[in-house]
Amino acid sequence: MPTLKHFEAALYPAARSGAFVTVELCIGQPEKVPRLKIEAATLGGLVDQVKTFAEAHGQPCAAWLRCTDKRAPAGFKALPDLYYNLDNPKPQAAAA
């Protein structure tokens, strides 16, 4: 049975522009982007949890993952391009 690895996911604002996707980095302002700590035994389980997190967020975003364990699992570097909600973003709630 695989052991659980610990990860942190951050969702950065993204937008589709033709064939390109632009991502807005929030350097120096980590509180500006939604973050989630995740435990997963497989990369498939990790991607499923990140997808659920991004869908709940509802806005176009790029998910950046970081392994918080000493060693990342094999194949972890194959997950750099996780984009969600680019075509069907949820409407934002109006500010009061």
Entry pTM: 0.79
User: Domains in the chain: how many in total?
Assistant: 1
Within a domain: 93: no
Within a domain: 94: no
Within a domain: 29: yes
Within a domain: 80: yes
pLDDT attached to residue 48: 93
pLDDT attached to residue 30: 67
Within a domain: 95: no
Radius of gyration of the chain (CA): 14
Q: Looking at residues 45-68, what average pLDDT do you find? A: 91
Q: How confident is the model at residue 49 (pLDDT cuts 50, 70, 90)?
A: very high
Within a domain: 89: no
pLDDT attached to residue 33: 87
Q: How confident is the model at residue 28 (pLDDT cuts 50, 70, 90)?
A: confident
Within a domain: 19: yes
Within a domain: 90: no
Q: Is 80 exceeded by the pLDDT of residue 92?
A: no
Q: Looking at residues 42-57, what average pLDDT do you find? A: 91
Domain that holds residue 52: 8-84
pLDDT attached to residue 96: 47
- Residue 28 to residue 40: CA distance in whole angstroms: 28
CA dihedral 40, 42, 44, 48 (to 10 degrees): -10
